[in-house]
Structure 1
Amino acid sequence: MSSTISLTAADGHEFSAWQAGAPDAPHALVVVQEIFGVNHNIRTVANEFASAGFAVLAPAVFDRAKRNVELGYSPEDVKEGLALRAEIPLESTLADLQACAAHFRKQAPHRKVGIIGFCWGGALAWDAATLTHDFSSAVSWYGGGIAAHKDATTHCPVQLHFGGQDSSIPHQDVNTIRAAHPEIEIYVYDDAGHGFGNRDRSSFNADANHLAWKRSVTFLEAGLRTTGI
């Protein structure tokens, strides 16, 4: 049910993606990595969504800079991940995400496609929801930098999750997003820090992860439901 496949973006770039779930699952979902690549955690998340009834693709968006990246969480890994991220223009990464959506549409033209991302991927999920029209639902977990783009127009329903103890995303940023987008579902988990949904990180918070997961699945299922076909 899970394997690595190759996809091609509109600009001709070939990249790998972790594929999980039945191709004809009722919902399609793109899972976007942190700055650590499509590593054990991201593959686990993809497989869990597959078990929940989603067809999933987790694109290796680092392939544009370096292939087969699977980092850990040491300071050195963080430094490498940030450096790789800096090498890739946003429009190139969005092209990879759009290629995933196009792949799903080829499999089932009427099926809606959602996107969920974590950390850097959380910011990319916001960018996908505001800079493209390829997704019908978007969820971001502890995506940094969203407040700086608060004036962007969302093209699909969006749900955001933040840790109340996340030192990298100030409370004021969350308040700024709330004020700019009162229509968006925003949840803050008081005792959770950055990366609270990653079981492989020391910041993992089981309670916050469980609640955010339930909320995300419910939100995505509702946003991707296809009627009248």
Structure 2
Amino acid sequence: MATNTEIPTLDGDGTFPAYVAAPEGTPRGAIIVQQEIFGVDEGIRRKADQWAAKGYLAVAPDTFWRQKPGIELSPYVEAEMQAALGHMMSHDFDLGMRDIEAAIHWIRREKQVEKVGFVGFCMGGKIAYMAAARTDIDASVGYYGVMIDQMLNEKHAIARPLMLHIPTADHFVSPEAQKAMHEGLDDHPKVTLHDYEGLDHGFAAEIGARRDEAGAELADGRTEAFFAAHIG
């Protein structure tokens, strides 16, 4: 894993690794790029690099560092897919949110970038929702977030803009879960939901066969405009 930075934990008793891509000149804002269950792999690093090319400071924390730092797993190898799912099942999401808070603080205090956005994929889409509800992140975007329907009781705490990209044929998020998300969030003044008819989980992945080019370009364009409006 090509991490190049260590970020202090919130309580200051240690550090966790992150991949950081910096733009040329003064950043227009910062984007935390939240990994899928496969680690800060080539695809996530590529997304961070793309945000840096657009003028943002991009920070991709290693979510599973307490379990096994530096993992890079493939969704196309069954044993690695199962290992990745195991890491997610063992992950303490509440403790992980403290790492997200630590990253926000580090960006604002150490890097002197005030406006911070968050974009996450799969498990990271769930974390995007959690960040919107539990932190003072300026704007969040979740791609094919899992288990959001089980956290709708936190929607009252969402005070900053949140965008969710929902592929209708997501084999990890049932039609019933999608329906619950729409019923719970469609009327929320800070939340925007976009459906992608017939697309599956992972449609915006940078590498591999999961990617749908047209769907990824549409979602990424919406995300870029969203951050331009709310981050800078």
Q: Same fold (TM over 0.5)?
A: yes
* Aligned residue in 1 for 2:180: 176
Matched, 1:52 2:54: yes
In 1, the alpha carbon distance for the partners of 2:217 and 2:228 equals 17
Hey, what's the Cα distance between the residues in 1 that align with 2:3 and 2:17?
10
Cα separation, 1, equivalents of 2:35 and 2:3: 16
Structure 2 residue ranges without an equivalent (≥5):
none
Do 2:30 and 2:116's aligned partners in 1 also have CA atoms closer than 8 Å? Answer: yes
Q: Secondary structure at the match of 2:194?
A: strand
- Deviation for aligned residue 1:110: 6.3
- 1:201, distance to aligned residue in structure 2 (A): 2.9
- Separation of aligned partners in 1, 2:126 and 2:223: 16
Deviation at 1:158, TM superposition (A): 0.4
Q: CA deviation at 1:108?
A: 5.5
Q: What SS class does the counterpart of residue 100 from structure 1 fall into?
A: helix
Residue aligned with 1:151, SS: helix
Q: Partner residue of 1:128?
A: 131
CA displacement 1:19-75 (0-9 Å, x = unmatched): 012373011110000000000000001111111121110000111110111111122
Q: CA deviation at 1:132?
A: 2.0
CA–CA distance in structure 1, aligned partners of residues 66 and 193 of structure 2: 32
Contact 1:31 1:59 survives alignment (8 Å): yes
Q: Aligned with 1:169: secondary structure?
A: coil
Trace 1:13-162 onto structure 2 (pairs within 5 A): 13-22=14-23, 24-73=26-75, 74-107=77-110, 109=112, 111-133=114-136, 135-152=137-154, 153=156, 154-162=158-166
Structure 1 residue aligned with 2:214, among 200, 207, 219? Answer: 207
**RMSD of aligned Cα (Å):** 1.7
Counting matched residue pairs gives 223
Q: Which runs of 5+ in 1 are unaligned?
A: none
* 2:197 matched residue in structure 1: 190
Displacement, 1:148? 0.8
Amino acid aligned to 1:5: T
Residues 110 and 34 of structure 1: CA distance in aligned 2, closer, same or farther (over 3 Å): closer
2:89 and 2:174 map into 1 onto residues whose CA distance is 22
Please, which moves more after superposition, 89-98 or 203-212?
89-98
Identity of aligned residues (%): 26
Provide the residue aligned with 1:6 in structure 2: 6
2:167 and 2:221 map into 1 onto residues whose CA distance is 16
Q: Which runs of 4+ in 1 moved over 3 A?
A: 107-110
Shift of 1:185: 1.0
Query: Tell me, what secondary structure is at the counterpart of 1:61?
Result: coil
Instruction: Name the SS of the counterpart of 1:150 in structure 2.
Output: helix
Q: TM-score, normalised by structure 2?
A: 0.90
